[in-house]
Amino acid sequence: MKRCLVIVLFAFFVHTSLADSISAPRKEDLIYAPRPEYPYDARRRNLQGSGMFILRVRPDGTVARVDVEDSTGAPLLDQTAIAAYSKWRFKPGRVKAVRVPIHFTMAPYPYMPHYNPPRDR
């Protein structure tokens, strides 16, 4: 029983330490961050979706890999985001992993997610 408890606690601490190391991107850490292009084929097919991606960053600031934490629901949009996020560059040694959201929409510009218009006075 003690062995099982020790293993569970060890797994919990490892999981929380890894989860804590993932942060949101900060402007002061970024060197180069191109936005994903909305592919013409995706717009033509009216593909839309939101997703969350985790960028694993090397000590030199380049992106080692991009993991899909939450898919946009369309493989074409996921691949577009992965291709753009793979080009991101950070200041060396500043971050190890970054969580980045994406939202592809056909809504007119400027699009503000969760925007509530002001009420008349």
* 59-89 tens-digit pLDDT: 999 999 999 999 999 999 999 999 999 999 9
Summarize the confidence of residues 51-62 as an average pLDDT.
Answer: 96
Output 16 or 41, whichever has higher pLDDT.
41
Enter the tokens of residue 7.
């293993």
| Residue 119: both structure tokens together | 């009420």
| CATH code at 20-104 | 3.30.2420.10
**Are 114 and 50 spatial neighbours (Cβ–Cβ below 8 Å)?**
no
* Residue 25 φ then ψ, to 5°: -70, 140
Rounded to whole angstroms, the Cα distance separating 55 from 65 reads: 6
Question: What pTM, to 2 d.p., does this model score?
Answer: 0.72
Residues in the chain: 121
Average pLDDT, integer, range 31-41: 94
pLDDT, mean of residues 10-30? 65
In which band, very low, low, confident or very high, does the pLDDT at 16 lie, cut at 50, 70 and 90?
A: very low
CA-closest candidate to residue 103, choices 69, 78, 66: 78
Is residue 25 within 8 A of residue 53, CB to CB? The reply is no
